Amino acid sequence: MFGLGKKRSTFGRWLDKKGLTQDEVAKCSKVGRTTISNMCNDEDYSPRIATWVKVQRALERKGYTVDRNDFFNM
């Protein structure tokens, strides 16, 4: 299922490694699926701070520690 030649951003590869799905993150963070898809597939995409905070809080509730600087250029 994973690694079928599709391009993934650093954030997308991290989600794959942790076994999380884009839909799961979108539902938990209440961020649109398109936004999560852009975060996972587009290396040049950088989400707004408010969007990242929602995603970060959702991931922290699941027990993951994440930092925006690890995934996106500021």
Residue 24 lies in a domain: yes
Q: What is the CATH number of the domain that holds 21?
A: 1.10.260.40
* pLDDT given at position 4: 66
Residue 35 lies in a domain: yes
pLDDT tens for the 74 residues of the chain, in order: 555 677 899 999 999 999 999 999 999 999 999 999 999 999 999 999 999 999 999 999 999 999 999 998 76
pTM given for the model:
0.86
* pLDDT given at position 41: 94
Per the listing, tokens 């997308």 go with 12
What residues contact residue 41 under an 8 Å CB cut-off, 6+ apart? 6, 7, 8, 9, 12
Residue 31 lies in a domain: yes
Q: How many domains does the chain have?
A: 1
Domain interval for residue 47 = 10-62
Whole-number Å distance between alpha carbons of 70 and 37? 18
